[in-house]
Amino acid sequence: MQYKLWLAATSHLPRAWRSSLVNVEHQLVQAKEFPFCRIYAEDQSNQLVGYIGSHPPFDWKAELHGPPYENLGWAIPFGFPWTWPRNTNLAERLYREQENRIPEIYSAFRRDIYIQRFRESWSEQLDFLRQHGWVQISRAPLLGKSLFNAEAPPTNVVPATRGDFEKIGDFVTDENVNYVSLTAQAALRLYDQGWINGEYAWRYADRGIFVLDPRGRYVGVTYCFGTAGEWDNVVNAAMTQAAQLGGEEVYFTVTEKEQEKHSRLSQLGFREVDAGIYMARRAD
C-alpha cells in the first residue's frame, strides 16, 4: 500500500524515480528493527492516505557518499510526508510527528544532520522543507535528451541478469566517465536490495551494461558502464531502449565529480533539463 501511495502522490512530478517493490521490502526490514521509523495515516475506511519514514543514521563520508562530497557527520535520511489525496494539514502532522519521534527512535546513535533529495522542478516539496528550516547543500544537473525519432534498439541488447552484475568489472573499464565504479560485491548488494532494478537492466553484448528508471514520459539512466571506448555507444543503446518503453525524454544525473560524463553527454546532444537538489537540516 505504501508503494501504491508513493506512485499516486508523485505521479504529477516530473522525473520522479520509480522505486520497486523489492526496494520497498528491503527498506521495510529496518522498520522491524526500529518500529516507529514509519508513520502511517488512514482514513475512516482504514485506507492508507499518508505516510512518512526515516532511516537509521550513518556516518556520511566524502569519499563514500554522493553530493555534496564532504563529511556531514552522522546523517539521518528524513522522509517526506506523502499524502494521497493531497492533504497539506495531514502532511504537516506527519512531519511533526516524525520530527518528535526521531530522538527516541535513534537514541543509541549520534545524530548530526537530516538529509533529503528532490528535483529542482518540485517547487512545492522544496518550499515545504525550506519552511521547516532546511537548506540546499548541493545541486546535480540532470542532462536530458528528447527520444522522438529514436531508432530501434540494437538486436544484441538483452536483459541483464544477476550474473551479469556479478561480472560488472568486465564493463566498468571506460575512461573516467562515472565517478562511482561498482565492484561486483557492491553491484550484487544493490541488485538484491532493489536499488538496481533488475526488471529494467540491459546488457549491450560485451560492450556495456545499463539500468533504466522509467516513469511516464521520463526515463532516467541510473547506471551506465561501457568497456574502453564504448560508453557513448552504450548511451545510444540506452536511449533506444528507453524509447521502446514509451519514454519521450531520457536523462542522466551528473554530479560535480563527473565533468567527463557531462562533456560526453553534451557532445551527444544532451542539455540540462532539471537538477537533483540535496537538502539538509541540522538535527536537533
pLDDT tens per residue across all 284 residues of the chain: 888 999 999 999 999 998 777 887 877 777 788 988 999 999 999 999 999 999 999 999 988 888 999 999 999 999 999 999 999 999 999 999 999 999 999 999 999 999 999 999 999 999 999 999 999 999 999 999 999 887 777 789 999 999 999 999 888 876 668 887 788 999 999 999 999 999 999 999 999 999 999 999 999 999 999 998 999 999 999 999 999 999 999 999 999 999 999 999 999 999 999 999 999 999 97
User: What sign has the CA pseudo-torsion 155, 161, 163, 165?
Assistant: positive
The strands making up 82-83's β-sheet, listed across from edge to edge, are 38-42, 48-53, 82-83
Among 57, 65, 80, smallest CA distance to 137 is for 65
Quick one: cell of 15?
522525473
Return the amino acid letter for 149.
N
- 139 CB-contact burial (10 Å; exposed 0-12 / middle 13-18 / buried 19+): middle
